[in-house]
Every structure is written in C-alpha cells, then in structure tokens.
A and B are shown apart, each in its own frame.
Chain A
Amino acid sequence: DTGVSQDPRHKITKRGQNVTFRCDPISEHNRLYWYRQTLGQGPEFLTYFQNEAQLEKSRLLSDRFSAERPKGSFSTLEIQRTEQGDSAMYLCASSLVKTSNEQFFGPGTRLTVL
C-alpha cells in the first residue's frame, strides 16, 4: 500500500492559464476528497466522490473549478483561468467506507499563480 499520491507536487502558472492536478487514492478506497489549504488555515473542503459519483461540492468551488473521477480510481481537479487567489496547497484524501470516514491525505500539490 503506497498511500495517496498526487501529481505534480508543485505548479507555477501565470494568471489566466488552466491547470490540472491528479490524485491517486489508496488502493480500494472508494471515497476521494479534495481540499484546499492556505497558510495559517486548516484545509477547506472542495468536493468529494464515492466511486465515480461526485456527491458533494462546496460553495467555495467556483465555476472555474471542475473535478472528475471517471473510473472510480484516480481523480483530476482542473482550475480554469487561474487567479492569484487560487494560490494554495491542494490536498487529496481518500477513505474506505468501512473505516468510519478516516481520511488519509496525499502530499499535496502546491499551486503558485503569478
């Protein structure tokens, strides 16, 4: 079991560009979550999937953000027309239905929008 992995680990982009992040959950974990964390704050929930179904989206998730989990395994988070305020650590977590929602985080993708 290799844990949750995320790619890339760092991304620097210019304002207005689109970026896409990938998350591979722990094998057999059927729930996958995306959070965003800025300096001095706790992670903020963005969205989550159970298998391939996106079951909940935060009000924080503007129309520029979209997430997919097409085959119920890995997930992608895309941000279109990035803004400086999108600069943050984007965290992915996964959990197994049987384990009462214990969520395990990946290393995160740090996004810097110039």
Chain B
Amino acid sequence: QKEVEQNSGPLSVPEGAIASLNCTYSDRVSQSFFWYRQYSGKSPELIMSIYSNGDKEDGRFTAQLNKASQYVSLLIRDSQPSDSATYLCAVNMRSGYALNFGKGTSLLVTP
C-alpha cells in the first residue's frame, strides 16, 4: 500500500462548481498535511497546510482533516479554468520533516 493515495483523475468540473479532491494516508503518526498545486511543466506550489482535525479555510480553498479516518481533502469553491492543474497531497514522513507525496489528482475546470 502506497503511503499517500490519491485518485489520479482526471476530475472534470464546470466553471463555478465545487471541486472536491481526496487523499488517504497510511501512517497514523503523521502530523502535518499539505496541498500543493502543480501546473504542467512547473514546480509544486503550496496552497494549504493543515495540522489538526476539522476544516481550515483560505479564500476559495478549504482543507479538511480527519485523523481517525486518515483522510484529508481539499475543496475548491467557485472553480475557475485557471484552477486546472494537478493537486498533490503531501504528508510528513514518520522520521519528521520530509514529505511523502501522492501521485496527484488532475483537475480540469471547463468553461
């Protein structure tokens, strides 16, 4: 079992809709969770971090964490075509600071 799992997609949503991206992780001791956005040919860009159970909102983005279920999600409200990218879920490794990444979910927002 891969340590961080994401549905590779593509996930297609119409402009203005809510995009929901999901991620599960295997290591119960993980404490730090991150979402990165990566455009084709570019490097990952940090968009959200979350450390405790519940929701964390930042603009159109909401990260949700459920440590009991080992599940973290990202909601994008009012999706725009410019949100079309690959979204990477990252979880800190057991050793502490390095990150384990999922393969990413490809999001396509159609006008």
Chain A positions near chain B (C-beta within 8 angstroms): 31, 33, 35, 40-45, 48, 50, 55-56, 58, 89, 91, 95, 100-108
In Å, the complex CA distance between A48 and B100 comes to: 13
Chain A residues contacting B102 (CB-CB under 8 Å) are 42
Interface CB pairs A-B, < 8 A, 12 = A33-B99, A42-B90, A42-B104, A45-B93, A56-B98, A91-B43, A100-B51, A101-B32, A102-B34, A103-B34, A105-B45, A105-B46
* CB neighbours of A91 from chain B (8 A): 43-44
Q: How far is the CB of A14 from chain B (nearest CB, A)?
A: 24
B60 within 8 A of A: no
Contact digits for B75-111, partner A, Cβ 8 Å, 1 yes 0 no: 0000000000000101011011111111110000000
Most chain A CB atoms below 10 A, which of B34, B43, B44, B92: B43
In the complex, residue of chain B having the shortest beta-carbon distance to the beta carbon of A58: B98
Q: How far is the CA of A91 from the CA of B46 in the complex (A)?
A: 14
